[in-house]
Chain A
Amino acid sequence: MGERGEEWEAVMLRKAEEEESKAVKKVKLVTSDGVTMEVEISTVKEMETIQAFMNATDTDNSIIFPLPKVSSHILSRIMELMSGEYDQELVKRLSHEELKEICMVANYLNMKTLLHLTASAIANLIQNKSVEFVRHFFNIINDFTPEEEVQLRKTHEWAFEGVDED
């Protein structure tokens, strides 16, 4: 009888521990510059790559997930965007370098909303601009010979014609 009671107690204890760990369970993300960031499990839900890993390992312990390609700066920017519910205004404040990095991380971690947001922000920089503008804006050096460029413009005429005729 006594033995059984102990057993019972042990089961209860384990259950309580489990529940406790579920409630406060955190994921530790280790960035490329060695910073460990503890994030809520709900945050990780959007990071499908990590989520898939967690589902596969099915461990009770909190997980440490290394992100060798993500700096702590970028990761904190991502957290800001997530907690700001992906506000367009926040995206506008990012530098182009940040935008690119975040877009790449979003792709790597399979964060659909963030990827969509940042990719469209990058596309916005290119949309409806002239070749000259894009070159100037992105500091691109034109490495075509004049002949090559003339030829290229000719073969791409189709995309530009019929807009302001008549």
Chain B
Amino acid sequence: MEPEHSDSNLLLFLPDDVFAVVSRFLSPRDVCNLCLCCKSLNALVASEKLWLTQCDDLGIVPHKDLVEWRKGVASYKALCRFLVGVKPLMGIWVHQNPELGNVVYVMPGFVSVVGCRIIPQELGPLGIEEGPILWASVFEVVSDFDGSMMFFLHGREKGVNYVYPGSVKLNKSCNVLLLEVEPGGCSSVSTLLQSKSFVHHSGMDSSSSRKVCRSISDVSSSQRVVGSEGMVGFGKLAFSDRRKLLEVTTSHVRQKVPDNMIGPLFPRLRDDEENFQKDLVLLWERRSLLSQMYKVGSGEVDEHKLSSQEAFDPTQLELGDVRARFDRSRSISNPLPEEDANTQCIKRKSLRGYFWNGIKQMLGRSNSMNGSHSVSKKLMSSGEIRHARLQEFLRSSDTVRLTLKASTMKLSSYRAWPNMHDSRFALYKLPLRVPRDDQEYAGLWGGTFGWPPGKPSEDKPGKALFFLLLSYEEFQGQQLLIATKILEGTHYVLHPNGSAMFTANINEPSSEPFPRDTDADLVPVNINHAFVGEGIASGYGFRYPGSKPGSLFVFQNGILAFMWKESKLVLTLQRLNLQELLKKGERVYSLPPVTNFSYLTKSYSNVFAGLPSSSNFLSSPRNGQ
């Protein structure tokens, strides 16, 4: 960098259109820096066009949809804020359990992003492309008017669909997505609640609550295991305590989703213009309702926050207009009668006040039964440490909330599959590699066993659908193509989740012939390449599969097929566009909230679609709505 100092001229007196060109080379962060420099620069970079470009460049949402989404936020700048925020969430997340596969794909919704779980399933009667594919919603992160994020966990309990509002904490380079309970909220809310719970305390002469208070102070004076480290994080708590906290919290924050508001979560494909427009109307209503629920659920007062936050926004005039529209659609779409909505609101707020005592009692009871405070304080059993940690965690604040936390962890991996903790309520990111010249088969593939590919044969319906993630790894100077299984649609799992269905050596051509010479439409098949490889086979028990020789064939039409040499078994694969498949897919019910996020029980069968009947389908483009 030259030591030379420039005139402010350089930036300030650039015409708008030239500055727009310059801004294409800047990140949202760079542009925000300019906002903070001085008033004239602030005005210069406040243009809608500039921020639309920034939104576009993030590459998450297509331009056409951005224009649609803009109507739901204060400005393109607000939209950019949201998109920057959710960017680390986009893509494929997995968990080891259940072994059939736990694939959650986070994709754009409507002024939101949605976590969709692909259900382990058999190939639909119309093949992969026209399936339709079955999926269930896991969570969504919706943009508020100012571009801040509203998190909703999804779940279904006792036949009722709920959303569970919470906050979002994201790290840009995250590889693990955690469902946690976090002490505290935004300061204004917690002071509000503090004063409420104080009133509540004085009005209630409960010896049990006093006991809890005393036991907490006992801990703080004599047993501060963690005092030096500061606050105890959720992750430091014992597994059963974490599970309990999550269950208690979700049962308190949950809000029923009216039947007419369950879906859709994103519009159908644009080529279905009429239904696309219909979906937009529904999506608008749904979003208004969600944002209302969020405010009730988290006790946020947004009116003040919003007006002060947008003080420098030149779109302020427009703001009132859009807000009015927002409110109007809200009151129209509100499925609850006005009176009910009010009582619910009050109930929620006061509920929050004593909900906390409820938790403390509930969790404290089992601990105080052990009489842990009377025993010797010199030697602490692991149970006591656990107890003390929990007390410390609970002590740290008067309020808790559900949190989606994306963090960065050091993870080891074997053949492109991360080694996972089995006691964390977590999902793990699988980096989706983009095909390059030297890695042309990288990415997501789907298929079934058998030839010809694509459609199920009439005599053999119900082929298990497989999802494989192809990536490259260098091994002893050779480029290995690894096909990691992430989803398997069999009734009972064949091989562990995340195992390599096959590996192929890209540097070693195979001379093996392909036994069939026509495809499904009896068109002759043309083989472009064939590589030597190894396919998965039964090994030492379930956990340690073996391998047998085979070949990977690359056909001219882009289809891949791996053939086991001995058995002549063929696994055929085609590239998948998950976003498109989900838009054409069929949504099924979610599991109860905590298991819906992370299914931690070992299982070899299909836990996500307990009732594979058509009554289970929530929305289907084919059934109509």
Contacts and interface: CB of A to CB of B under 8 A. Distances in A.
Interface of A: 95-97, 99-100, 103-104, 107, 115-116, 119-120, 122-131, 134-144, 149, 151-156, 158-160, 162-163, 165-166
B25 A124 contact: yes
B502 to A, nearest CB: 36
B13 interface: yes
A149 B36 contact: yes
- Main SS class of interface, A: helix
Q: Which 6 A-B pairs have the closest CB atoms?
A: A123-B25, A96-B6, A159-B32, A119-B21, A156-B32, A159-B29
A104 B7 contact: no
B62 to A, nearest CB: 23
B504 to A, nearest CB: 37
A107 B25 contact: no
Contacts of B612: none
Given A107-B15, A158-B85, A159-B84, A140 B25 contact: no
Contacts of B312: 152, 155
Contact of B33 (A103, A134, A143, A155): A134
20 contacts: A95-B4, A97-B6, A100-B9, A104-B18, A107-B21, A119-B18, A119-B21, A120-B22, A122-B10, A122-B22, A126-B33, A127-B27, A129-B33, A131-B33, A137-B5, A137-B6, A152-B36, A158-B84, A158-B85, A159-B28
Given A138-B8, A139-B8, A155-B309, A107 B408 contact: no
Interface of B: 4-15, 17-18, 21-39, 41-42, 81, 84-85, 88, 147-148, 170-172, 308-309, 311-312, 407-408
Contact of A123 (B5, B15, B22): B22
Contact of A126 (B4, B30, B81, B148): B30
B258 to A, nearest CB: 32
A128 B31 CA distance: 10
A107 B147 contact: no
A127 B5 CA distance: 16
A97 B18 CA distance: 15
B25 A127 contact: yes
Nearest to B35: A156
Contacts of B13: 100
B81 to A, nearest CB: 5
A97 B10 contact: yes
B15 A127 contact: no
A56 B7 CA distance: 40
A154 B37 CA distance: 14
Of A100, A152, A160, the most chain B CB neighbours within 10 A belong to: A100
A159 to B, nearest CB: 4
Contact of A163 (B18, B34, B39, B172): B172
A103 B23 CA distance: 13
Contacts of A103: 14, 18, 21-22
A41 to B, nearest CB: 27
Given A134-B34, A151-B311, A160 B29 contact: yes
Given A134-B34, A156-B36, A159-B84, A96 B4 contact: yes
Given A95-B4, A140-B8, A162 B29 contact: no
Given A123-B26, A162-B171, A143 B35 contact: no
Contacts of B37: 131, 134-135, 138, 140, 142
Given A100-B9, A138-B7, 16 more contacts: A107-B15, A119-B25, A123-B22, A126-B34, A127-B25, A127-B26, A131-B33, A135-B37, A135-B38, A138-B6, A140-B12, A143-B39, A151-B308, A151-B311, A152-B42, A158-B147
